[in-house]
């Protein structure tokens, strides 16, 4: 691929944005390649967890708005394509970790927030920078941001477009963890390894339930939980394996079926 590096090891697929000269800004080609990669991962049972990161010490500086950004569609069609990429990320059944160094601004910030977990280096900086460019939120930011930090804080971040450091991002709940830059890779590797060893179907169902939590009533949530649990208990071997491993005092070996 032109703009991404994709590697796989032990059930962990790492998607690295790689346009170092532009701090990994998302070009038209990168949006195309991200969409293809996310859809491929969704259909690959061997991919158990996804890590999204950026090359050369930067996460992503947002969409590439320069003439060489490679956008060839009409503006509305282009934005719908961007939306398709955000939805493909959101719909991944696998847990997704954003590993953030350096800048994560604009669409790059929302790419991180679209992941299930965000782990940041103490060097990371975040911004919903759109207003500085005369733009409104995109790449799912209007949906993601208030769910992360609450409505009023989301409006503050969107209206003022301030750049915040990793410590502030952690304080307001924008990220899950902040670690020293030298420890970031090991920390994310540990989380990814633990998730890759987990029960894929059960984790996918928990992810789906939580993603829908603010759109359903308590009654609907309980009904959805009941159906999901029935699939786990009656429809998968992983739940049986978990009980056997508990009785036999050994780690479970989940197969995803």
Element (H, E) at 88: helix 75-91
Strands 164-165 and 103-105: unpaired
pTM of the model: 0.94
CB 126 within 8 A of CB 147: no
Tell whether the model's pLDDT for residue 181 goes beyond 80.
yes
Tell whether the model's pLDDT for residue 53 goes beyond 60.
yes
Which residue in 236, 245, 240 sits closest to 45, CA to CA? Answer: 236
> Which range, of 19-23, 65-69, 95-99, 159-163, averages the lowest pLDDT?
65-69
pLDDT at 69: 57
pLDDT at 206: 97
pLDDT class of 71 with cuts at 50, 70, 90: low
Which residue in 121, 114, 103, 170 sits closest to 137, CA to CA? Answer: 114
pLDDT at 76: 80
pLDDT class of 68 with cuts at 50, 70, 90: low
Task: Give tens-digit pLDDT for 91-125.
Answer: 999 999 999 999 999 999 999 999 999 999 999 99
C-alpha–C-alpha distance, residues 26 and 227, integer Å:
39
C-alpha–C-alpha distance, residues 57 and 75, integer Å:
31
Average pLDDT of the chain is: 95
Tokens representing 204?
A: 């996918």
């Amino acid at each position: 691929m032109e703009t991404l590096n994709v590697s796989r090891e032990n059930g962990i697929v790492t998607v690295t944005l790689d346009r170092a000269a532009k701090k990994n800004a998302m070009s038209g080609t990168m949006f195309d390649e991200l969409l293809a990669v996310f859809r491929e991962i969704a259909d690959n049972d061997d991919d158990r967890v996804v890590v999204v990161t950026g090359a050369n010490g930067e996460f992503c500086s947002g969409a590439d708005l320069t003439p060489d950004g490679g956008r060839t569609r009409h503006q509305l069609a282009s934005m719908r394509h961007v939306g398709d990429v955000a939805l493909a990320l959101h719909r991944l059944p696998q847990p997704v970790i954003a590993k953030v160094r350096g800048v994560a601004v604009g669409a790059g910030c929302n790419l991180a927030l679209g992941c299930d977990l965000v782990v940041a280096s103490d060097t990371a900086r975040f911004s919903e920078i759109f207003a500085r460019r005369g733009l409104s939120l995109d790449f799912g930011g209007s949906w993601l941001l208030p769910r992360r930090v609450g409505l009023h804080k989301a409006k503050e971040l969107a209206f003022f477009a301030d750049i915040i450091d990793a410590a502030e991002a952690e304080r307001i709940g924008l990220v899950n963890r902040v670690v020293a830059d030298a420890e970031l890779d090991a920390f994310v590797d540990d989380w990814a390894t633990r998730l890759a060893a987990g029960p894929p179907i059960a984790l996918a169902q928990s992810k789906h339930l939580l993603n829908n939590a603010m759109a359903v009533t308590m009654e609907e949530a309980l009904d959805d939980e009941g159906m999901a649990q029935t699939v786990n208990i009656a429809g998968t071997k992983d739940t049986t394996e978990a009980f056997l491993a508990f009785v036999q005092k050994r780690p479970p070996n989940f197969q995803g079926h």
